[in-house]
Amino acid sequence: MAIKINFPGQIIIKEEAMNRTGKNNILTLSAFILLTILFFFNSCKTGKFNSSDLNKITINSYYKGEISGKTLYVTIKECNEKIAGEYFFVTDKAITEVNSFRGFIKNGMLSVTGFVKNDSLQLFTEPVISEDTISCNFFLKNSKEPQTLILVREKPQAVFKSGNRYKSEVFSKVKKTTKIFGNAEGYYSSKLYENVSESNYGTILVDVAKSIAKNVLLKEHDLDLDIYEPVGDTLKKRPLIVLIHGGAFIIGDKKSETMLALSEYYARLGYVVASVNYRLGYLLLPGQYDYLEREIHRAVQDARAAIRYLMHNSGIYKIDRNRIIVGGNSAGGFTALNVAFMDESEVYPSIKGSLLKLQKDLGCLDCSSNNYKDKFSVKGVINMWGALTDIELMDDYENIPLLSFHGDDDNIVPYGFDLPFKNIRPEITAFFVKKIYGSKIIHEKASKLNLKNELVTFPKASHEPHLDENNQFNEKFDIIKSKTKDFNYSVITQTEEKIIGIQEISHSDFPPSYRFYYHPSYKYFWKAEGGKIVSISPNGEEIKIVWFDNSDNKKIILNIINDIGASLEFSMPVRVI
């Protein structure tokens, strides 16, 4: 509801000369006179004002109007017994002059002073104030025709609120679904052992290996995975984390405590998580390294098949096909690294098989376990005390971020370049396996290739460093959760896109435009420090700015909520030349 206020008295605009850095022309002078008259009539107390009148003015908001075809912005910073504010014009220049004004009441008269030289004005007017509009009729000096200026309060831009999704456990419940993703020939696909530790690891592996040696025949096995999803999620697509359990490629299961805990944790953060079972078992024969190589290849085939299955069903599980992270512990770390870095030209020669050893050709990386043809690309790897048999699998063009964890006193999988299972006795181990490249060497290689990577070393820690002597999670598991949370977030928000626009401006330039990559699902939140955004494109990806002459620091800040609900921030400094 509008409030109409009559001013039957005479108003005098007083003179005050002050220095300005910009050029004053007739238009600016006249416009300022109009502006000061308007605002001080509409927002300051006279005998006709009451406290409710002042409440109609929104402090520190921009009011927008037009004079002689020039866009005018006004902001009131103080409005009580005194009034103060600033105004500027949008012209065809990149940099605009910001002017200040102020006023007060004295002897029943409203007195206004601004940066106007050698001018005064008499005026009778009938201004109107509403919740969003200030308007008034006025007379210019030496003019008998009234004119109208209408200033409309600019609607504030939506306030950016950084979401907590992927940064904290925003979901309290998780749904688990078990699915068969393929079928392939092997010894078995699950052998869950409780209370496995470095001290009994060797004994367990030898016992299992003996049982395999008694029955070397391979048969078909169904391969399954557990899919974890946050309950109550409304997003249409979510990033995917694929977890692969450990167990020296001879024991283990997707239901291990570590896999369960991480799967549920990541799902509560907002991810879709798949914990995968794969074919296990190989013959431990002196000098016959090819048996382990062939088992690693089968594990990689199965993990890749699981991802192809998830890509094929991405619509059902609301998976973002372009954001996939793989991770695993121990043998699962081996497998995750191979899924990410091994290509067809780098597979083991032994996969071709041997007629003498009754070995079949295992086929290419994507030639087993199911017939899905869906392509995928890994965007990040979590390696928990895993290793590589060939460090040259890592290439600079792959550019896959990597996060590794490893205890530097690990006797099962070496921290550096050494034999595995040193706790059994190195001279015996050397009969069955070769030296492998642990996380320290992997980190050094990644750094040499300029790959984004981090190694978290647990001093004096052994294999499975996140478990205490009672096989309970210790403080290192909290470190793993925290580090992987941040790493995963950096992976799913990584982009080569940036703000596009000129960073060096001059007084003679036109008002510059700045833009960002357009995505129909993105929400854009722009901010100009030391300037004013004067227009925004319908989709929000492009803006136009006028920069203030009285600001030394000028910067554009863009916050984005992307298509998977993650928050990103970009900035660009701007300087005057």
pLDDT exceeds 80 at position 563: yes
The neighbouring-strand residues paired with 180 are: 224
Euclidean distance between CA atoms 437 and 417, whole angstroms:
5
- 58: confidence class by pLDDT, cuts 50, 70, 90: confident
Q: What is the CB neighbour count within 10 angstroms for residue 328?
A: 31
Tokens of residue 489, six digits: 């977030």
> What is the torsion angle, in degrees rounded to the nearest 10, for the CA atoms of residue 393, residue 394, residue 398 and residue 401?
130
Euclidean distance between CA atoms 482 and 48, whole angstroms:
62
193 and 324 together in one domain? yes
Euclidean distance between CA atoms 343 and 292, whole angstroms:
19
321 and 391 together in one domain? yes
pLDDT exceeds 70 at position 38: no
Average pLDDT, the chain: 84
Q: Where are the beta strands (DSSP E) in 118-268?
A: 122-125, 128-129, 133-138, 147-153, 174-186, 219-230, 238-244
Are 36 and 85 within 8 A, CB to CB?
no
Q: Which of 464, 492, 520 is the last residue of a domain?
A: 492
Residue with tokens 């070397």: 216
Residue 521 sits at the vertex; the CA angle it makes with 520 and 525, to the nearest 5 degrees, is 95
Q: What value does the mean pLDDT take over residues 481-510?
A: 95
Are 103 and 45 within 8 A, CB to CB?
no
pLDDT exceeds 70 at position 446: yes
Euclidean distance between CA atoms 257 and 236, whole angstroms:
30
Secondary-structure breakdown of the chain: helix, strand, coil percentages, each rounded to the nearest 5 = 25, 35, 45
Between helix 290-312 and helix 331-341 the angle, nearest 10°, is: 70
Specify if 158 maps to a domain.
no
Q: What value does the mean pLDDT take over residues 140-166?
A: 80
Torsion 246-247-253-255 (CA) sign: negative
pLDDT score of 405: 98
Residue 206 sits at the vertex; the CA angle it makes with 205 and 211, to the nearest 5 degrees, is 95
pLDDT exceeds 90 at position 122: no
The backbone torsions φ and ψ at residue 348, rounded to the nearest 5 degrees and listed phi first, read -65, 135
Euclidean distance between CA atoms 169 and 461, whole angstroms:
28
The backbone torsions φ and ψ at residue 442, rounded to the nearest 5 degrees and listed phi first, read -60, -40
pLDDT exceeds 50 at position 178: yes
pLDDT score of 489: 97
49 and 190 together in one domain? no
In tens, the pLDDT along 428-444 reads: 566 567 899 999 999 99
pLDDT exceeds 60 at position 26: no
Are 249 and 331 within 8 A, CB to CB?
yes
Specify if 546 maps to a domain.
yes
pLDDT exceeds 60 at position 75: yes
Q: What is the CB neighbour count within 10 angstroms for residue 573?
A: 11
114 and 184 together in one domain? no
DSSP label of 44: S
Q: Which of 492, 512, 527 is the last residue of a domain?
A: 492
Euclidean distance between CA atoms 572 and 500, whole angstroms:
9
Euclidean distance between CA atoms 539 and 564, whole angstroms:
18
Q: Which of 32-36, 90-94, 206-210, 278-282 is predicted with the least confidence, judged by mean pLDDT?
A: 32-36
pLDDT score of 155: 87
pLDDT score of 111: 52
State how far Cα 76 lies from the chain centre.
Answer: 37
In tens, the pLDDT along 239-275 reads: 999 999 999 898 999 999 999 999 999 999 999 999 9
Euclidean distance between CA atoms 473 and 468, whole angstroms:
6
pLDDT score of 214: 63
pLDDT score of 311: 98
Are 112 and 13 within 8 A, CB to CB?
yes
State the number of CA atoms in the 13 A half-sphere of 277 facing the CB: 27
Specify if 533 maps to a domain.
yes
Specify if 298 maps to a domain.
yes
Specify if 226 maps to a domain.
no
CA distances from 512 to 35, 91, 509, 534, 556 (A): 26, 12, 8, 10, 12
483 and 519 together in one domain? no
Specify if 58 maps to a domain.
yes
341 and 427 together in one domain? yes
Are 63 and 73 within 8 A, CB to CB?
yes
**Domain coverage including residue 78:** 3-153
468 and 414 together in one domain? yes
pLDDT score of 7: 36
134 and 212 together in one domain? no
Euclidean distance between CA atoms 378 and 301, whole angstroms:
15
CB burial of 410-438 (b: ≥16 within 10 Å; e: otherwise) equals bbbbbbbebbbbbbbeeeebeebeeebbb
CA distances from 193 to 16, 45, 190, 284 (A): 88, 82, 10, 19
pLDDT score of 197: 67
pLDDT score of 3: 28
Euclidean distance between CA atoms 258 and 246, whole angstroms:
10
Model-level pTM greater than 0.75?
A: yes
Specify if 164 maps to a domain.
no
The closest of 276, 327, 277, 333 to 481, measured between CA atoms, is: 327
Specify if 304 maps to a domain.
yes
Q: Which of 182-191, 251-260, 278-287, 473-482 is predicted with the least confidence, judged by mean pLDDT?
A: 278-287
272 and 347 together in one domain? yes
pLDDT exceeds 80 at position 521: yes
Are 566 and 170 within 8 A, CB to CB?
no
Specify the pairing of strand 128-129 against strand 133-138. Answer: antiparallel
261 and 198 together in one domain? yes
Q: Maximum distance among all alpha carbons in the chain? A: 113
pLDDT score of 139: 58
Which CATH number do you get for residue 426? 3.40.50.1820
Euclidean distance between CA atoms 530 and 544, whole angstroms:
14
Torsion 26-30-36-39 (CA) sign: negative
Are 386 and 407 within 8 A, CB to CB?
no
Euclidean distance between CA atoms 39 and 13, whole angstroms:
12
In tens, the pLDDT along 362-393 reads: 999 999 999 999 999 999 999 999 999 999 99
Q: Which of 442, 457, 492 is the last residue of a domain?
A: 492
450 and 544 together in one domain? no
**Structural domains in the chain (count):** 3
CA distances from 379 to 44, 325, 447, 484, 562 (A): 60, 6, 17, 14, 17
44 and 96 together in one domain? yes
